[in-house]
Structure 1
Amino acid sequence: MPITVWGLAIAQALLTTGNILLVAVSALIGKQLASHPALITLPVALQFLGLIMATLPAAHLMHKMGRKVGFIVGNCIGLLGTWVALQGLEANSLMHFASGTFLIGMAIGTGQQYRFAALDVCAIEQRPRAISMVMAGGILAAILGPNLAIWSRQWFDGNPFVGAFYGLFIIYVLALILISSLPLAAPIKHTVKQVTRSYAELFKQPLLVAAIASGAIGYAIMVLLMTATPIAMQQDEFPFSNIAWVIQWHVLGMYAPSFFTGGLIRRYSSRTVILWGCATLALCILVNVMGNSYWHYLIGLLLLGVGWNFTYIGATHLLTFTYEPAEQGKVQGINEFMVFTAAAVGSLLAGVGVDKLGWTWLNLASLPPIILVAWWIVRLADQRARVRERI
């Protein structure tokens, strides 16, 4: 496996460590600063809005100027966003803080392309393994992120959340240094004969619709329940350390399966792995509605992470069969845009969902979209939509 893939796995670990920090503290900061329950997850929602707004421009920038330029720009925006969020915390301003998370979201949106950058330097048969290796970088983040969230509470007196954003600043500096040193693929040069299809033509492919739907709904459900969990646990009077450990096991569930998800795709097909992901997400919901003890939260979120891993990596691999080289930036960009739009909706609904529906009904409301994805994937198989390799 090329050295670049290993470097991107470390970059993914740094990115995910920062994401876990945000997951652990953003909703709680929102609760501290918000004047209305519906605004509690505004910082998380604006983070995803920034992520969405960055996806298409980042994909096209990298397509024209190369991955390295795009990743460096993204990390610089992350540094700026961290500084703005810190100013918001100092001023006790929800909107100021949320503006910072918006910029951080743009940085995260750029970093989501790490898995695609790994595909650029691999042969076709290595792609499932390359995606899995990059995603497996999140295992390191599962250890660092929650512990950093706990340790950083002691760094500054007066506000237990300020230290987390200084930690995030350091993470973006390290990622910037790493990305600057990696030999990433140069921009793709096209000849005049290469013609790209329109979005309307691309979306006539059932395979593309299935890939995007699997990634989008799996991610939206994961973000919805992950963001709602700290709020629900706080309502049940669990200490912050318990919340952080539940998030840690969730992230382990998200990334630990990456060591074998690629092998499962090669052996059974990405379609089958996505169906397993849907079944695991449904099992997560079953555990969540059975009780609200610490172990219910921990096991439920562990299953949530595994379900996301299968749907997300399976959908990423499925996507690679839907475009030609000249269409890469276009398809990858629209995929990221739609996946993270769905995730933003999930994050925005988390706070108000716990407040208005309660933890049990919020979980039950998450079940129909999962069934929809499973139905579409089965329908795809029924239509015998097969391409060059097993899907």
Structure 2
Amino acid sequence: MSTQTSPHRSALPAEGRARVQRRTVAALMLAQVVGGLGMGAMLAVGALIALDLSGSRAWSGMATTMITLGAAVFALPLASLAARRGRRPGLALGWVLGALGGLVVIGAAVAGWFPLFLAGMVLIGAGTATNLQARHAAADLAEEDTRARDLSLVVWATTVGSVAGPNLIGVGGGLAAGLGLPELLGPVLLTTAGFALGAAATFALLRPDPLVIASPPDRRPEGGRSAPRRSPLDALRTVARRPRALLAITAIVSAHTVMVGVMTMTPVHMSAHGAALTAVGLTISLHILGMYAFSPLVGWLADRLGRVPVLLAGQAVLLVSVAFSAGAGHDEVLVTVGLVLLGLGWSLCLVSGSALLAESVPAEERPRVQGVGDLVMNLGGACAGALSGVALSLTGFAGLNLFAALFTVPVFVLAARVLRNPTQA
């Protein structure tokens, strides 16, 4: 009987567990490549489509806001599905919902209906939630001394699609024109196709399910005695009792909030000062390169130097990045440097923080705690995206960056507490 569906599984020997882990990481990486194509393409044009439909710079920030809000909305349901049924159903469903969102955005843009566009962006957020939750699946069966590395490889795999996506604006535009659609919808076609391929790869290849194997026999999804139902409040209590878990989530939320707030308005800032669409696409591509390309190195450092030092290094890089962007003015090169550093700081915090969170809670509690972490992370990003357009209008790009820097403060405070008591869970 298949390991995936058998209700009575025995624990795998170390060699079998390692083999399943290698297969899991490979399957997740493939899904991230094609799914990342969808994410990168949408990031490049979402704000511009919103600007075209709404006619307002302040409303243009709602594109990324809705994606981030959607990622928050779907984080817990997808995590709960994983806790009940395993990682594979949750991840596959998330990719499918993201693809559906791409179709809704296309229909809304053709009809010129901004509210429907926003609804489609919320569904696309399910794809973002799935992309983020895939890293947790890589940690389920990982050994402690390689957990950050395995997790980082899945994060890194997003690089290929996410960097290629914004640079395929021209190709996508030609495809859209061939179908009688506006040029800006070309990347949305790529988004839809990338998410659909991510769903197919996950459903076909993520077997056996890593969470099913990692969980205790009497608490496994799909078999044994069902784990007790836990509310998000229970998960928050679990985090609050564990200083290292609290630090991990706070660092991830801080990095994501800073990153989304600044990145959302960068295309609008550049376009307003005459930057070509190709230059905007290149800047976003390099930013995404900073987010994902160095992930394996970040994972290696987190395994060798420790999660907390790498996490703090990430916060420091975020501060340097906003300083660059705040002083960039209209200089496209300096804006790009700031965006690359912004992505690198996010990567340092995400990889080290995710590894720290995974090892701070028991396996059977991980999905819901990780889901709550992603929920708070994306709520922070959604708020940052919503306020970024207003902040840009009121204070300019420099003021937006300086405001974003404030979100690093809680991380340093919590890190000092953890470092004072290194033996605490």
Tell me the TM-score normalized by structure 1: 0.93
Query: Counterpart of 1:121 in 2: which secondary structure?
Result: coil
Identity among equivalent pairs (%):
26
Which residue identity does 2:384 align to in structure 1? G
C-alpha distance in 2, partners of 1:22/1:180? 23
Q: 2:324 aligned to 287, 304, 318, which one?
A: 287
Out of 128, 140, 150, the position equivalent to 1:108 is: 128
Which residue identity does 1:147 align to in structure 2?
N
Q: Secondary structure at the match of 1:366?
A: helix
- Which residue of the partner structure matches residue 62 of structure 1? 82
1:5 aligns with 2:21: no
Report the Cα distance in structure 1 between the residues aligned to 2:402 and 2:69, rounded to whole angstroms: 26
Moved more, 63-72 or 214-223: 63-72
Mapped to 2, the partners of 1:194 and 1:322 lie a distance apart of 19
Q: 2:166, 2:187 within 8 Å by CA — same for their partners in 1?
A: no
- The answer on 1:221 being equivalent to 2:258 is yes
Residue deviations 1:210-268 (CA, integer Å, cap 9, x gap): 11110001011011111110011011110010011011111111112112111111221
Q: 1:150 to 1:47 in 2, by over 3 A?
A: same
Of 281, 302, 309, the residue aligned with 2:347 is 309
Are residues 300 and 190 of structure 1, via their aligned partners in 2, closer, same or farther at CA, if it must alter by over 3 Å? Answer: same
**Partners of 2:43 and 2:166 within 8 A in 1:** no
The one-letter amino acid of 1:174's match is L
| Structure 1 portions without partners, runs of 5+ | none
Q: Do the aligned residues in 2 keep the contact of 1:55 with 1:333 (CA within 8 Å)?
A: yes
Deviation at 1:88, TM superposition (A): 0.3
* CA deviation map 1:128-169 (0-9, x unaligned): 111111011122124411222232123234622121121112
Deviations 1:102-152 (A, max 9, x none): 111123213321111112232333211111110111221244112222321
Q: Counterparts in 2 of 1:201-216, with a 5 A limit?
A: 201-216=238-253
What is aligned with 1:271? 308
Task: Return the offset for 1:198.
Answer: 5.9
Tell me what 2:187 maps to: 164
* Structure 1: distance between partners of 2:281 and 2:57: 22
The letter for the 2-side match of 1:150 is G
Could you tell me which runs of 5 or more consecutive residues in structure 2 were left unpaired when the two chains were aligned.
Answer: 1-20, 220-224
CA–CA distance in 1 between the matches of 2:59 and 2:358? 38
How many residues in Structure 1 have an aligned counterpart in Structure 2?
387
Q: Is contact 1:138-1:252 (8 Å) kept?
A: no
Supply the RMSD in Å over aligned alpha carbons.
2.0
The one-letter amino acid paired with 1:236 is: H
8 Å contact kept, 2:244–2:418: yes
Q: Partner amino acid for 1:161? A: L
Q: Which moved more, 1:193-202 or 1:70-79?
A: 193-202
- Please name the residue that 2:361 is paired with: 323
CA contact (8 A) 2:37 2:164 kept: yes
Residues 198 and 70 (structure 1), Cα distance of their counterparts in 2 relative to 1, 3 Å cut: closer
Q: What does residue 145 of structure 1 align with? A: 165
Alignment-derived partner of residue 93 in structure 2: 73
Distance 1:31 1:193 in 2: 48
- The alpha-carbon deviation at position 385 of structure 1 amounts to 4.5
- SS at 1:207 equivalent: helix
One-letter amino acid of the structure 1 residue matched with residue 99 of structure 2: L
State which of 165, 190, 202 in structure 1 corresponds to 2:218: 190
Conservation of the 8 A alpha-carbon contact between 2:69 and 2:125 = yes
Give the Cα–Cα distance (whole angstroms) in 2 for the partners of residues 305 and 341 of structure 1: 19
Give the Cα–Cα distance (whole angstroms) in 2 for the partners of residues 44 and 231 of structure 1. 12
Q: Structure 2 length as normaliser, TM-score?
A: 0.86
